[in-house]
Amino acid sequence: MNASPSPDRRPHLAILSYNYAPEPTGIPFYNTGMATWFAAHGWRVTMHAGIPHYPWWRVPEAYAARDYRGGRGDEVMDGVEVQRVRHFVPAPPVSGKARMRLDASYLWRTLLRSFHQRQRPDVLVVIAPPFLGGLLGLFLRWRHRVPVCWHVQDLQVDAALDLGMIPRHLGRILLWLERLILARVDLVTTVSQAMRRRLQAKCRTRQPVAMFPNWADAETMRPWTGANRFRQEWGVDEATPVVMYSGNLGRKQGVEVLLEAATHVRVPHLLVIAGEGAERADLEQRARELGVTRVRFVPLVPSERLAEFLCAGDVHCIPQRRAAAGLVMPSKLLNLMAVARPVVVTAPADSDLAAVVAQAGCGRAVEPEDSQCLGQALDELLVDASVRRAYGLAGRQFVQATFAADAVLGGFSRRLLHLITSDRS
């Protein structure tokens, strides 16, 4: 039997993704921001999430011991009803098969729980990855008779194939399933123009693939003034510049090129690599092999301390493997621009990442996997504080004008309301 409509007159948005707060970075950051924004703007929001595990690849103690049966692990966070299911969490290094098991276990548990839902939403938003969540979205679309939007943050199958994480024969099956989802959902959205073009080339969709880029909360993410507690913890004086990478430490990121670039940088500096992930142990070993002694590996911080944390870096680096160009759009870029920090990215000149950096005037782009060019670009910025300030200011102004949260999420809200009214007419 179908679930009944909610007596609550607010439009009811259901979001499906295993990633949500307290996970601090990447897709979880934007899932959380989207859900809380909609809840604050007159929507009822249900987040169908998993157990926190990313980017640490372990479950925090507070959640590991929780009973998730019958909704006992659910919680309300900033006005959002978060319904959690327990699922498999792989230990690093995370293989393609382990990632697929994670996806399948979350989707299976969420599917089973859906049969006990008493009220149906007005619209569903399914986040990819996991891309197979689109199949669950199609089932719930049929069951509840409501429209579904499939929001693509990463081209998961393309990236796995290009990085050699799954065999080709399996990739062909997954690409066929991806086309099936694309052709049947009511709306497909994505975060970059390059990903939009690739999605449009895969098959014909019901509506043209729409842009729903990531955003920055420029009010919360502001330049930090005064003493920085993180620099004090690291024992760094104001005269010593800090080069920082912050985010997931996985295969797509290619952080090892930053370690290699550090051997080419002449200006004395501290390299800070902040994050967790499958490649962290290998990166620490690689730093020892290269003789990079002025490096710190530190954990990520809660969102309420993120602005100060990012401002501890004088130059931020966003490395990206050549094979991942066009398949992912690093979400950290907008927060770095919001706190007025210059960036050096490794991305082909025709990529969205390089195009945004050039358009914003917030830093420099060098070719991927070229440690010598990366080291030279870092050297040039480290030696000139006035250039760093100019890049930082330009980035913040660009974010405020182009990627403000209210503008981006307000536009997406109107799209969802249109889906709801069109479905009812």
CATH number at residue 148: 3.40.50.2000
Asked whether residue 59 falls in the same domain as residue 131, the answer is yes
DSSP characters for 108-133?
HHHHHHHTT-SEE-SEEEEEESSTTH
Is this structure's pTM higher than 0.85?
Answer: no
Asked whether residue 377 falls in the same domain as residue 413, the answer is no
Asked whether residue 294 falls in the same domain as residue 410, the answer is no
For 157-161, the CB contacts below 8 A with 24+ separation are 157/131, 158/198, 158/327, 159/252, 159/323, 159/324, 159/327, 159/328, 160/96, 160/99
Please indicate, yes or no, if residue 223 is contained in any of the structural domains.
no
Please indicate, yes or no, if residue 285 is contained in any of the structural domains.
yes
Please indicate, yes or no, if residue 121 is contained in any of the structural domains.
yes
Asked whether residue 106 falls in the same domain as residue 235, the answer is no
Q: What angle, rounded to 10 degrees, do the helices at 133-144 and 96-114 form?
A: 10
Please indicate, yes or no, if residue 341 is contained in any of the structural domains.
yes
Q: Going residue by residue through the chain (425 aa), what tens digit of pLDDT does each one get?
A: 356 655 668 999 999 999 999 998 889 999 999 999 999 999 999 999 999 999 889 999 999 999 999 999 999 999 999 999 999 999 887 887 888 899 999 999 999 999 988 789 999 999 999 889 999 999 999 999 999 999 999 888 888 787 777 888 888 999 999 999 999 999 999 998 888 999 999 999 999 999 999 998 888 899 998 899 999 999 999 899 999 999 888 766 778 999 999 999 999 999 999 988 778 888 999 999 999 889 999 998 888 899 999 999 999 999 887 766 666 667 789 999 999 999 999 988 888 889 899 999 999 999 998 999 999 999 999 999 999 999 999 999 999 999 999 999 999 999 999 999 987 66
Asked whether residue 201 falls in the same domain as residue 233, the answer is no
Range of the domain at 22: 4-215+404-424
Asked whether residue 209 falls in the same domain as residue 264, the answer is no
Asked whether residue 15 falls in the same domain as residue 113, the answer is yes
Please indicate, yes or no, if residue 166 is contained in any of the structural domains.
yes
Mapped onto helix, strand or coil, the DSSP state of residue 377 is helix
Question: What is the number of residues in the chain?
Answer: 425
| Structural domains counted in the chain | 2
Strand stretches in 300-395, DSSP E: 315-318, 343-346, 363-366
Asked whether residue 20 falls in the same domain as residue 145, the answer is yes
Beta bridge partners of 387: none
Please indicate, yes or no, if residue 221 is contained in any of the structural domains.
no
Please indicate, yes or no, if residue 224 is contained in any of the structural domains.
no
Please indicate, yes or no, if residue 222 is contained in any of the structural domains.
no
